Chains A and B, each alone.
Chain A
Amino acid sequence: MNIDDKLIEYLADLSRLELDTEEKAARKKDLADILDYMEKLNEIDTAGLPEMTHPFGAVNRFREDVVTNGDRTEELLANAPDRKGPYFRVPRTVEE
């Protein structure tokens, strides 16, 4: 499959990744090679078959919806790259 600049830029955008020219070329080639290899699956007729999203079709085991943990604000904020009081601080979110 041919991967053009437009497609790789779109995919990088979906992935929230910035690719420089060199990376873009490399990812285009990888993706094309890998997708060619994946064409193999087209040998199989899968029309009408169920989609298996989980190994055993087992259903999630939910627990009771009760609070088991306390206030962990400090613990969780300890890893924040930047904080202000009990909040995560981030660069400007709205353009001036």
Chain B
Amino acid sequence: MDLRTLTALELGALIKKKKVSSPEATRVFLDAARRDFDKSADDETKINAYTDLFEAEAMAQAEAVQERIDAGEYLSPLSGVPVALKDLICTKEGTTTAASKILGGFRAPYDAGAAERLKGAGAVILGKVNMDEFAMGGSTETSHYGITRNPWDTSRVPGGSSGGSAAAVAAGFAPYALGSDTGGSIRQPCSFCNLTGIKPTYGSVSRYGLMAYGSSLDQIGPLAKDARDCAVSLSIISGRDGRDSTSVMEEPFRFCDIIHGEFGDGRMGGLKIGVPANYFSMPGMKDDVRGAVLGAASVLRGLGADVEEFDLPMIDYAVPTYLIIACAEASSNLSRYDGVKYGYRSPGAKTIHDSFYRSRSEGFGTEVKRRIILGSFVLSSGYFDAYYKKALRVRGLIKSVFDEALEKYDIILAPVCPTVAYGIGGQIDDPLAMYLGDIYTTSVNLTGLPGAAAPCGFGEGGMPVGMQLIGKAYSEGLLLDTIARFQLATDYHKQAPKEHKAERKRAGRPETQEGGRPETQGGGRLETQGGGRPETQGAGRLCENAAVFASEAKQSIKTSCKPGLLGLPRRCAPRNDGLSTQSGGSFCAPGEDGGAR
């Protein structure tokens, strides 16, 4: 069995059952990562996911966790399971550089809140993974440590800024990873690399020890092979941390039902999903992405969700608003890099003033300078009101349209990105084109709402397409539960890049863990259950045939008002029915077996 093809929960279950030890598992991932790490930079098969591999430290952690497991101490379902961290989440081990020259060789004297919680849950940290410098970018091409390649097609970008996190998981160099998301930096690389990930509600995960980009937008979250891995890792890292005054969610998430795979009949009756029709007619929106996301809408409908289309205004204003706010915050946050206390100091400077200018000019890359200058502009006197204050006001308007939509719908289903992963070098010299790739993701950061990405099909060149589910604040449980049910009925998320495909099939499934994970290939559970709607019968077909299914679903829709642009029912008048009774994720009692700590 190739451990690299398993989900984190599957690997955790094998470790718990002593079928494999944590050091054995850790070695497998380290070796795979090391083989890639050692390839020459001009080798076009080099993924270049890691910026630093913590080989000795990881093995020591694995040995220590294994001792506790052997003593019967069960820290979490991910006890003994390795993980990779984005290179801006501080750890005492190794370096944390934000993929910038200015932090070259920086060794954090402390662990970030999220890293500390992972360690407390028995996670083994494999190393740091690549990213766009200071998380500024959408392609992992602005890293000082070289580009990361997409394991699905190494001539393409993995997305960004958490591109190393996504590439590491997709290539089997880590079972799951943490990233950070300021304007789409978890969701977009998930979409590009066929992974499931979530940008949690602002304030639910501690930002202590997360190198800041846009402080009112940044959140840490997981990138993983499925929704259940996201549920368990988010359960571990979430909750109040006194060292981050914006960490306001008192209790950590406890998604026990999802972690244990308890989904009842797998259906989602009564769940109200709104699909913003106008999002699908934006310039730049590609047909393959549109088709895959609408196919997913039909699958969700087939599973019993009440899916309809509506218009969600303000989309045109999201990116400019985001850019102003993010760059303003960045120019302020990055003023700390002055070559005095840590990081790069220019050797030639004669005075301290000269040292500030030279160290920063030599230490920061082009995209970072571009954003700092833009931030300085919008914050400078004379432009402050017209740009920065204006953006803050528009931010409030964007928040209100989302709040209004989420009074009608439990979930908004949208694309993650207008395109599949593009070729390396394709957008790097056109900042505006790059920024517009964030059109569907930035609103979620501006509003603080949770947004999850999950695989929903394949487009141009066989590249993965992701869908985005956006919910009310703290409704991560509902988002992940919905994706998990979707993943019982489909197998997009089980597809791996070519090199790993054969291995993955050969590996098969490990024995089910407690809670009874069903054999989910092709939605077997749906098929075995009688009395389903006609659409759901033979759900195994859905994944192969989402487009055909979508057109059938379209014809079956009966609605009293004019069909919408997408062929989904469209709301004509406000409805009075109450919100769905489906609860947003359940919480385990502390200490309960299977609870995440």
Interfacial residues, chain A to chain B (CB-CB below 8 A): 8, 10-12, 14-19, 23, 26-27, 30-31, 33-35, 37-38, 40-44, 46, 49-56, 58, 60-63, 72, 75-76, 78-82, 88, 90-93, 95
Say whether, besides A51-B392, A55-B202, A56-B203, A38 and B323 are in contact (CB < 8 Å): yes
Chain B residues near A75: list those with CB within 8 A.
109
The A-B contact count (CB < 8 A) is: 164
A78 touches B107 (CB 8 A): yes
Chain B residues near A27: list those with CB within 8 A.
369-370, 373
B240 touches A53 (CB 8 A): no
> What are the 6 A-B residue pairs with the smallest beta carbon separation, nearest first?
A55-B448, A79-B342, A51-B392, A81-B345, A46-B393, A52-B396
Chain A residues near B271: list those with CB within 8 A.
none
- B393 CB contact (under 8 Å) in A49, A56, A76, A79: A49
The stretch from B252-260, B374-382, B549-557, B569-577 touching chain A is B374-382
Closest to B446 in A: A55
Chain B residues near A11: list those with CB within 8 A.
373, 376-377, 380
Chain A residues near B358: list those with CB within 8 A.
18
Q: Which residues of B in the span 337-357 have a Cβ within 8 Å of any Cβ on A?
A: 338-345, 349-352, 354-357
A61 touches B248 (CB 8 A): yes
A78 touches B109 (CB 8 A): yes
Is B101 part of the contact surface with A, judged by Cβ < 8 Å?
no
Chain A residues near B435: list those with CB within 8 A.
34
Chain A residues near B395: list those with CB within 8 A.
52
Shortest Cβ distance from B429 into chain A, in angstroms? 10
Cross-chain pairs A/B with CB under 8 angstroms, 20 sampled: A11-B376, A14-B376, A15-B372, A15-B376, A17-B372, A27-B370, A44-B397, A49-B397, A54-B216, A54-B246, A55-B216, A61-B240, A76-B109, A78-B109, A79-B106, A79-B107, A79-B343, A90-B355, A91-B354, A92-B351
The stretch from B81-89, B224-232, B313-321 touching chain A is B313-321
Closest to B242 in A: A63
Say whether, besides A17-B357, A34-B374, A41 and B351 are in contact (CB < 8 Å): no
Say whether, besides A30-B431, A34-B374, A58-B246, A50 and B396 are in contact (CB < 8 Å): yes
A60 to B370, CA, bound (A): 31
Shortest Cβ distance from A85 into chain B, in angstroms? 15
Chain B residues near A88: list those with CB within 8 A.
340-341
B399 touches A55 (CB 8 A): yes
A27 to B364, CA, bound (A): 14
Closest to B244 in A: A61
Say whether, besides A18-B361, A37-B320, A46 and B372 are in contact (CB < 8 Å): no
The stretch from B155-163, B299-307, B383-391, B518-526 touching chain A is B383-391
A46 to B391, CA, bound (A): 9
Closest to A54 in B: B216
Shortest Cβ distance from B395 into chain A, in angstroms? 4
Closest to A58 in B: B248
Shortest Cβ distance from A19 into chain B, in angstroms? 7
Residue among A10, A34, A72 facing the most chain B CB atoms (10 A cut-off): A34
- B432 CB contact (under 8 Å) in A12, A33, A62: A33
Closest to A49 in B: B393
Is B537 part of the contact surface with A, judged by Cβ < 8 Å?
no
Shortest Cβ distance from B481 into chain A, in angstroms? 23
Chain B residues near A50: list those with CB within 8 A.
393, 396
Say whether, besides A49-B397, A51-B389, A79-B343, A40 and B316 are in contact (CB < 8 Å): yes
Is B542 part of the contact surface with A, judged by Cβ < 8 Å?
no
B369 touches A17 (CB 8 A): yes
Closest to B370 in A: A30
Shortest Cβ distance from B323 into chain A, in angstroms? 7
Is B473 part of the contact surface with A, judged by Cβ < 8 Å?
yes
Say whether, besides A55-B448, A63-B242, A91 and B376 are in contact (CB < 8 Å): no
Is B21 part of the contact surface with A, judged by Cβ < 8 Å?
no
- A41 CB contact (under 8 Å) in B340, B349, B390: B390
Q: Which residues of B in the span 376-434 have a Cβ within 8 Å of any Cβ on A?
A: 376-377, 380, 387, 389-397, 399, 431-432
A90 to B355, CA, bound (A): 8
Chain A residues near B399: list those with CB within 8 A.
52, 55
B377 touches A44 (CB 8 A): no
B390 touches A46 (CB 8 A): yes
A16 to B240, CA, bound (A): 36
Closest to B105 in A: A79
A80 to B232, CA, bound (A): 38
Chain B residues near A8: list those with CB within 8 A.
373
Chain B residues near A54: list those with CB within 8 A.
216, 246, 448
Chain A residues near B317: list those with CB within 8 A.
40-41, 43-44
Is B331 part of the contact surface with A, judged by Cβ < 8 Å?
yes
Closest to A75 in B: B109
Chain A residues near B321: list those with CB within 8 A.
41
Chain B residues near A52: list those with CB within 8 A.
392-393, 395-396, 399
A11 to B378, CA, bound (A): 10
B376 touches A37 (CB 8 A): no
Say whether, besides A34-B323, A60-B246, A78-B109, A49 and B352 are in contact (CB < 8 Å): no
A81 touches B344 (CB 8 A): yes
A15 touches B331 (CB 8 A): yes
Is B360 part of the contact surface with A, judged by Cβ < 8 Å?
yes
A8 to B377, CA, bound (A): 9
Closest to B354 in A: A91
Is B278 part of the contact surface with A, judged by Cβ < 8 Å?
no
A83 to B387, CA, bound (A): 41
A17 touches B373 (CB 8 A): yes
B392 touches A56 (CB 8 A): no
Chain B residues near A62: list those with CB within 8 A.
245
Chain A residues near B396: list those with CB within 8 A.
49-52
Closest to A51 in B: B392
A81 to B355, CA, bound (A): 12
Chain B residues near A72: list those with CB within 8 A.
109
Is B495 part of the contact surface with A, judged by Cβ < 8 Å?
no
A91 touches B350 (CB 8 A): yes
Chain A residues near B431: list those with CB within 8 A.
30, 33-34
Say whether, besides A16-B356, A51-B393, A55-B399, A92 and B320 are in contact (CB < 8 Å): no
